[in-house]
Amino acid sequence: MDNLQHKASCPWTYEVSYDRDRLPPELIVARCQTISYPSSPCKSVLYWVPVTRWNRARGNWTDTWDLVTVGCSFADTVDYVYTSE
Pairing mode, strands 78-80 and 43-55: parallel
Question: Chunked in runs of 10, what are the mean pLDDT values of the chain (85 residues)?
Answer: 67 93 96 68 88 95 95 67 57
Question: What phi and psi values does residue 22 have, to the nearest 5 degrees?
Answer: -130, 140
- In terms of DSSP H, where are the helices of the chain? 4-7
Q: How far apart are CA 29 and CA 13, in angstroms?
A: 8
**Angle in degrees, CA 60, 46, 16, rounded to 5:** 60
Give pLDDT tens digits for 71-84.
Answer: 888 765 555 555 55
Beta bridge pairs of residue 16: 28
pLDDT for 43: 81
Domains of the chain: 4-80 (2.10.90.10)
pTM of this prediction? 0.71
